[in-house]
Amino acid sequence: MADFKTHIGTSTALGLVYGGAAYGLFQVPPQTCILAGALCGVSGMLPDVDSKSGRPRRETLAFVSAMVPILLVDRLRSLGVAPETAVLVGALGYLLIRFGLGFFLRKYTVHRGMFHSLPAAVIFGELAFLLASGDDWRLRLYKAGGVTLGFVSHLVLDELYSIHWNFGWVRLKKSFGTALKVFSTKSIWANVSTYGKLALLSYVVFYEPGWVQRYQNDRAERWQRQAIPQSSEEVVAGWVPKETPQNVQETASQLLDRLRR
């Protein structure tokens, strides 16, 4: 199993590549690239939030309880919530995550459970999308992708470290297959709970206020740029050469009107 430094080092390196590639190839705003890269870096700790050892869980909870309220406050303000209310909600979120979630994780989770799974990676990515602010849904999706990438890097490393090479022989440890999985073989309830959260968040993300409207607006703008003139005269003027006799142009317009009816 990879240790804490290996996980955070790998996800940080991926975050640098993730942010740099978006800036260099797609001219994404630099502040967005930095934030997405940072989210990727720290998300390499997220699967170990169910760890029974002290440091991974403590560091992960400290990050989540600090980062989530910051994103939440900015998100609420962008939706028109009063600044005082947004700050109060952020403070409440910190307390709930730092102490409430911490107690729940210690009490009801097992290490290498469904927190170490691909559905969990998608869930955390969807939460990041909902918390991220901004009018451009593509930039929000980009930030959420950083969280998912960092999360998945942790799972991949755990699986790689479950393979032991010994003088050319490959030996699989007992932990092999327990990180990069899509369902649990030990707990049906864990599967029901995880996929229930995944379905609920997927529904909220898809039908989130503003998401569908912005998509429709983008599509309408693209259609508008490519729109065909509405009047028959404009259509004929674009298709028929200018030197064509006037009576031929009028006949073409009349035929087009009949076809439209």
Consecutive 10-residue runs of the chain (261 residues): their mean pLDDT? 79 93 90 91 83 69 80 76 82 83 71 81 91 82 93 89 71 70 82 91 81 58 57 50 54 58 55
Sign of CA dihedral 179, 159, 101, 106: positive
> Does residue 129 sit in the same domain as residue 250?
no
The structure tokens listed for 208 are 């989130």
Domain contains 33: yes
Q: Mapped to the 3 state alphabet, what secondary structure does 47-94 carry? A: HHHHCCCHHHHHHHHHHHHHHHHHHHHHHHHHCCCCHHHHHHHHHHHH
Which residues fall within 8 angstroms of residue 19, CB to CB, at 6 or more apart?
33, 34, 36, 37, 38, 40, 146
Residue 147 has a pLDDT of: 93
- How many structural domains does the chain have? 2
User: Are 14 and 8 spatial neighbours (Cβ–Cβ below 8 Å)?
Assistant: no
Give per-residue pLDDT as tens, 141-174: 999 999 999 999 999 988 888 777 666 676 666 6
Give per-residue pLDDT as tens, 192-229: 988 999 999 998 888 876 555 555 566 666 666 555 44
> Does residue 115 sit in the same domain as residue 147?
yes
DSSP annotation of 175: T
- For the chain, the maximum distance between any two Cα atoms, rounded to a whole number of angstroms, is 90
What are the DSSP calls for 209-236, one per residue?
TTHHHHHHHHHHHHHHHTPPPSSHHHHH
CA distance 144 to 236: 48
Domain contains 241: yes
> Does residue 96 sit in the same domain as residue 186?
yes
Structural domain that includes position 146:
4-220
